[in-house]
Structure 1
Amino acid sequence: MAYCQEYDPKDSNNDSDFSVSYKSNKILVAAIDFGTTFSGYAFSFKSWFETDPNKIVTNSTWVAGQKNLISLKTPTCILLQPNKSFHSFGYEAEEKYAELALEEEHEDWYFFKRFKMSLFNNTTLSRDTEIPDDSGNKKMPAQKIFSHGIRFLKNHLVKHLESSHTGLNESDIHWVLTVPAIWNDSAKQFMREAASQAGIKDTHLMISLEPEAAAMYCRILPVEKFVSGGGGNLGVFKPGSKYMVADLGGGTVDITVQEVLEGDNLKELHKASGGAWGGTKVDENFMQMIVKVVGEPVIQRFKCDSKSDELDLLREFEIKKRSIRPDATGKTAFRIPISLTEAFEEINNGADLRQSIKQTPYAKHMNWVGDKLKVDNAMIKELFTKVSDSIVQHLKDILNNPVSRGVDTILMVGGFSECAMIQEAIKTNFSHMKIIIPEDAGLAVVKGAVLFGHNPATIVSRKAKYTYGVKITRDFKEGDPQDKKYQVKGRNKCSDVFSKHVEIGQTVKVGESLNPQSYFPLHSDVEEVVVPLYISTDEDPSYTTEPSCNYLGKIVVPLKGSSVKDKEIVVQMTFGGTEMTVEAEEKKSSKKLRAQFDFLDH
């Protein structure tokens, strides 16, 4: 049960130690990169990091289906059996689901793919949030699905270590889980709890922000490891230099701007930002093109009745998407499953799809040869345009911000940054800047996360993404809205007041607690103090009910076993880390209290 609280407007003079430890002494650091489209892991021993930071092991034995293709990552797909128990992850899940669909035995199974985007900008995310499976007809708790995926990757990594006869057990491993820097605090807590359900102890886990991790990796690469631009040996990472990190993934584009400090440390110059402009947007544009050719009813029938063929079509586009180049001419051929043409004929009373294409606006840009649809490369390249335009405009907006003055380099990382079309768009629009792309851009995040796990102190400060504050009650003042006025023991009070702790864009040092505040239980018999926490996109909101404000969660301070009469509780928050932390104590006795955030209470 939640309890209301009063706020003491006087600044607390509490000088208690609220220090936070960021260092791990584990023998091995293992990072899990749980991506929108592909996932993987990497690890290194502490002794390796100290002698050769570049020595980071990734799993390179993901087998892509029956073709026995070796992949550095595996698809982020999860298959559950009809009884909702876990069956498989990655290529195995994809292949099994396609096999079931071919035999029309898939309807009772649960197949989830690209579900990571359900956490992006989700302001109502909770532990009860559900996500639909591939059919759209069945749902499962999102946290359970994420925990299945994390558990699979964790166990796969542990087996990898066991097969190498390292003699390690899980208590020797410090885990790092990557998340986009643009995710909100609820999503980060959601992933931490999912990892806990997957068997990773909370005290053995650290959250790493993806673009930051990628930058840390690129800083240690020799110059020959960059496929474009110049490497660290050319002065990009010297003290005083400023650069932008563009982490282009399958679901999101995640941007941060950093400055290199003395002592090889980094500070963030511009708050993390970005949007849903990843590689999956190009996939969506491709399917929309097919919809315009055959019609929405045909696509729905095709997806419902021919799941295996749909997977094959998307796989083929994924391959063609990676190979298309800005200077490509002629046409690109796509094998169209016979089931799609059959669905078209059934819904359109026997009409011939080949002839029907000639009646569409695409007549001059497409033609049908055998079982293949040939599309002008100019049209294929157009599928990238809206995505690349959004990315370019966002980068321009950031670079035009005064805090980005002096930034002369763009570091492109993430799987989507390997796309030639996106590379060309950025190089063309930012020809005055140095564009750097590591040769293994798709692994930069997970390898950098390993480095972050060994030395998280590299990042010394970040920019607050929001204005953070708590909802308080104070004495009513002239100018306060009348509808917020109420009385307590004959005194006029004002409700819903936004008490600011940190301002949007403010530089916050890692590990440094800010603005201790004092709170008092309203009643002497309460067992906890609950402090509602709000965020705002405004610099200085007055009330938590303003349009710019959103409820983020609550701070819970347990008081059980304490005498709470006339008790003052000092609450202190730390904003500079990859996750917010909170500590509290009784001011009179200096007794530490186990305060914690709950961002999933919606």
Structure 2
Amino acid sequence: MALQDIRILVALDFGTTYSGFAYVHKENPDNIETNHTWPGREGVFKTPTALLYNETYTQVKSWGDLALEEEPEYMVDDSEERSRPIELFKLHISDLKDNQKPWLPSQLNYKKAIEDYLTQMQILIKSTLERRWPAIRFPQQVGFVLTIPAEWPNNTTGIMRECAYKAGLLSTLNSAHLEFTTEPEAAALYCLNVVKEHNLHPGDSFLVADCGGGTVDITSRKLLHDNKLSEITERIGDLCGSTFVDKEFLQFLGRKVGFQALETLKRCNYGQMQHLIQQFFCNLVKFKFKGDRTTFKPMRLILHRYCPDLQEYVTGELKEKMEEAGWIVKLDFESVKGMFDPVVDKVIKLIDGQLKEARDRCSAMFLVGGFSESPYLLNRVRETFRDQVPIIAVPALPIAAVVRGAVAYGLNVEIVQERVLKWTYGIEVCRSWVSGKDKKNRRTHDGLIFYFYKLAQRRTKVDVDRKFSGEFSPVRADQTHIVFNVYYTRNDFAKYCNESGMKLLGTLRINTPDTHFGLNRQIEFSLTFAKMEIKATAKNKRNGKTYDETTFELDI
């Protein structure tokens, strides 16, 4: 980001369940402000990532907390079909199978939902900045940093850039006023502010677990001189945030009243479903559960207080049992623990895998994000890793860690000195097929075999502008053009470009008119890893001139 061209820097944490933004004037970089004023709510750093449309899903009526209100402020005609709030639509970018992705109405695709949500954010951000600095030209004098999960597909940044542009956050699609960083990287940068409190010094390593509503992302970093960071090993993440505890609660309740009854409540009385989850489960159970059997007090869920219409949808034997129980569901210690454990176990498995992969001694572990404020999660993590990691802490304002860390990144993108590649990169090349060595079905009609030539290995540490290269020659003496197809994969032992998991990153085509040299035409093909992009270059080794080059988005 060309910081000299902008006056205000805004970081936007577009989360699966909650979103927020922070901002700073470049003339006063220490005064980072986190927004805490939202439509319908004051004094919190985030608002729900939720939209409420009109009945045809063509116009946004409200967003954030207002979209999830049990009784919206506007009046709805009884003869008019009410729309259902749209949530979790960010997950449609992820690698989840289609049947596992959240519901969307047929009239709405996920990109339009993201665009619409960012549009509402843009309106609020613009008014917030103009209230503070009336002379600011928006968005021309504003730079943005968007955070993305660590383990999401390679096209995530492209999708988010397009949506940000359509939402009015950028003047042009390819504006240089937008940077991306991963959520765990931003969280790690935020933790730079607290490492001194725990007596960490250059050379010490620490782990950051960003535990959000939808995703949990883990990264290991080493503290360098001049308050900079390097990445120790490949960051990892999974869908095991706090909303998956909510799902376990609904599974428990579904066994009491019937899953069909819950589905009908969700479809017909979505506000009551939200009221049940937020006001009862989150406020009274999830945020307070410590996992201590001796201090736990059994809970009584009186259904008619939170979802009075639910009993209309319960049928058969389950209805008889609920009537006998007075429509009260009891939550004992084992039941609540059973809601947490499948999710917390996944988080612990992620942390354990990261510690083993990093190998270096971990001096401290910081838990951030909304889920980090769960007493049970913190207790389980401390209990599991207390012999491996001497300091396990939750820093101040953990829910704002990602967005404030993203501001720090935007102010100084050089703060991250090294990253670890999360993919293996290479190109498709060919050679003569060899009988007895190569598979028969790999032989082309002209006696060649195409295979994957590895240039950059997954888990390799790379600093900015690190180049990986190889030398290649034409296949035929009269060849007048060459196509370099660049692929990436997680498979450390990939052999062919049509294997499962292999993905095409992009293509570089060059003209090679110097056919009088025949096959004696060495070409250096290289991939150079910049901050946010990969540059592919083809150079003539005979005269040192560059044939051509292009850039691809770097999946950070």
2:114 corresponds in structure 1 to 146
* 1:115–1:131 CA contact under 8 A, matched in 2: no
User: Structure 2 CA distance, aligned partners of 1:166 and 1:568?
Assistant: 59
User: Structure 2 CA distance, aligned partners of 1:216 and 1:415?
Assistant: 17
SS of aligned partner of 1:486? coil
Report the alpha carbon displacement of residue 139 of structure 1 after superposing the two structures with TM: 5.1
Report the alpha carbon displacement of residue 153 of structure 1 after superposing the two structures with TM: 1.7
Report the alpha carbon displacement of residue 283 of structure 1 after superposing the two structures with TM: 0.8
**Aligned: 1:85 with 2:59:** yes
Aligned length: 531
Report the alpha carbon displacement of residue 48 of structure 1 after superposing the two structures with TM: 1.7
Stretches of structure 2 that go unaligned for 5 or more consecutive residues are: 516-520
The one-character-per-residue Cα deviations of 1:475-525 (angstroms, maximum 9, x if unpaired) are 32451211111144xxx2112x11112112111112323226668799999
Q: 1:235 is aligned with what amino acid?
A: N
**1:101-250 equivalences in 2 (<5 Å):** 107=81, 109=83, 111-121=85-95, 134=103, 137-138=105-106, 140-169=108-137, 170-199=139-168, 200=170, 201=172, 202=174, 203-221=176-194, 231-236=195-200, 238-250=201-213
1:436 corresponds in structure 2 to 393
The one-character-per-residue Cα deviations of 1:170-199 (angstroms, maximum 9, x if unpaired) are 211111000112223222322222223323
SS of aligned partner of 1:171? coil
**Aligned: 1:43 with 2:6:** no
Report the alpha carbon displacement of residue 463 of structure 1 after superposing the two structures with TM: 1.4
The one-character-per-residue Cα deviations of 1:332-378 (angstroms, maximum 9, x if unpaired) are 2434212111211xx32894453466xxxxxxxxxx5xx65342244
Q: 2:198 is aligned with what amino acid?
A: L
**1:201-600 equivalences in 2 (<5 Å):** 201=172, 202=174, 203-221=176-194, 231-236=195-200, 238-316=201-279, 317-320=281-284, 321-327=286-292, 328-336=295-303, 337-344=307-314, 347-348=315-316, 351-355=319-323, 368=326, 373-401=329-357, 403-432=358-387, 433=389, 434-478=391-435, 479-488=437-446, 492-495=447-450, 497-515=451-469, 531-547=484-500, 549-551=501-503, 553-557=504-508, 572-575=526-529, 577=531, 579-584=532-537, 587=540, 590=545, 593=548, 595-597=550-552
* 2:534–2:554 CA contact under 8 A, matched in 1: no
> Bigger shift: 110-119 or 433-442?
110-119
Cα 1:153/1:98, change in 2 over 3 Å: same
Report the alpha carbon displacement of residue 83 of structure 1 after superposing the two structures with TM: 5.5
SS of aligned partner of 1:439? coil
1:362 corresponds in structure 2 to none
Cα 1:296/1:544, change in 2 over 3 Å: same
Stretches of structure 1 that go unaligned for 5 or more consecutive residues are: 1-20, 124-128, 222-230, 358-367
User: Structure 2 CA distance, aligned partners of 1:459 and 1:439?
Assistant: 22
Cα 1:311/1:467, change in 2 over 3 Å: same
Q: Which 4+ stretches in 1 moved above 4 angstroms? A: 21-25, 96-108, 129-134, 516-526, 562-571, 585-594
Q: CA RMSD in A?
A: 3.4
* 1:130–1:141 CA contact under 8 A, matched in 2: no
Which fold has the larger relative contact order, with Cα–Cα distance below 8 Å and residues 6 or more apart in sequence?
Answer: 1
* Structure-2-length-normalised TM-score: 0.85
User: Structure 2 CA distance, aligned partners of 1:105 and 1:589?
Assistant: 74
Cα 1:56/1:473, change in 2 over 3 Å: same
* 1:60–1:70 CA contact under 8 A, matched in 2: yes
Identical residues among aligned pairs (%): 24
Q: 1:514 is aligned with what amino acid?
A: F
The one-character-per-residue Cα deviations of 1:386-444 (angstroms, maximum 9, x if unpaired) are 1111211222222233x332112111111111111111111111223211211200000
User: Structure 2 CA distance, aligned partners of 1:565 and 1:108?
Assistant: 68
User: Structure 1 CA distance, aligned partners of 2:509 and 2:122?
Assistant: 33
User: Structure 2 CA distance, aligned partners of 1:110 and 1:132?
Assistant: 16
SS of aligned partner of 1:465? coil
The one-character-per-residue Cα deviations of 1:538-589 (angstroms, maximum 9, x if unpaired) are 3232222444x422x3324477xx8967699865433463x44224466479
User: Structure 1 CA distance, aligned partners of 2:462 and 2:237?
Assistant: 20
* 1:334–1:373 CA contact under 8 A, matched in 2: yes
SS of aligned partner of 1:220? coil
Q: 1:196 is aligned with what amino acid?
A: Y
User: Structure 1 CA distance, aligned partners of 2:527 and 2:79?
Assistant: 52
Q: 1:319 is aligned with what amino acid?
A: N
Cα 1:240/1:468, change in 2 over 3 Å: same
SS of aligned partner of 2:151? coil
* Structure-1-length-normalised TM-score: 0.79
Q: 1:550 is aligned with what amino acid?
A: M
* 1:79–1:110 CA contact under 8 A, matched in 2: yes
Report the alpha carbon displacement of residue 457 of structure 1 after superposing the two structures with TM: 0.9
Report the alpha carbon displacement of residue 206 of structure 1 after superposing the two structures with TM: 0.4
Cα 1:521/1:220, change in 2 over 3 Å: farther
